[in-house]
Amino acid sequence: MTLGDILAALAAIFIVGASWAASVLLVALAFPRPVARAETALRETPGRCAGVGSAVVLVCGLLAILLINVAPGPLKLLGAVLLGGLGFLAALGSGAIVRLVAGRIDDLGSPLSPFGSLTRAAVLYVAAGFLPILGWFFLIPAAVLFSVGCGLEALRQPKKSVAALEVMA
């Protein structure tokens, strides 16, 4: 393995991290109502979010991997769609986690704008996954389970009326 290979691998890892932070920030800003519902679900029932996330990741993730690796052409597409759906749920739930962290940053008396605290929270959220051993084997799996679970809870919750949402804002 050459130094160029090592640098390319490191660059790929950091590009994936920056892309995930950007996608989480984009989802948090583009879908404020579902992200707010996911944040509420995470704040009120974190155990349920982790349990639902574990079940969904286990069932859908294994099914998607089996379909992609074993099934013929059209079913491979179904596996890819399942993985894409899991990715969207993870992004939606990660947006909720980032909003929760951003709120706590604001509670500490930070002079940042709301976008600044949301961006800082996204960077903290993604950077924590780069921590050797603890981040790789504990924080990332926990974040995936919680984010998929609260993302699904946000989509399962009944939508409130527009008047109720305006009162919350």
Tokens for 143, please give them: 């974040």
The pLDDT of residue 110 is 79
Task: Supply the range of the domain harboring residue 8.
Answer: 3-168
Residues 12-34: what's their mean pLDDT?
A: 94
- For the beta carbon of residue 119, count every other beta carbon within 10 angstroms: 18
The pLDDT of residue 147 is 96
Q: Which of 67, 29, 48 is nearest to 151 (CA)?
A: 48
The pLDDT of residue 162 is 43
Round to whole Å and give the CA distance between 76 and 79. Answer: 5
**What is the total count of domains within the chain?**
1
The pLDDT of residue 164 is 52
**Angle subtended at Cα 43 by Cα 38 and Cα 44, rounded to the nearest 5 degrees:** 100
What confidence tier does 1 reach under pLDDT thresholds 50, 70, 90?
confident
pLDDT digits (tens, 9 = 90+) for 35-67: 999 999 999 999 999 999 999 999 999 999 999
pLDDT digits (tens, 9 = 90+) for 65-108: 999 999 888 899 999 999 999 999 999 999 999 999 999 999 98
pLDDT digits (tens, 9 = 90+) for 107-164: 988 788 999 999 999 999 999 999 989 998 999 999 999 999 999 999 986 666 444 5
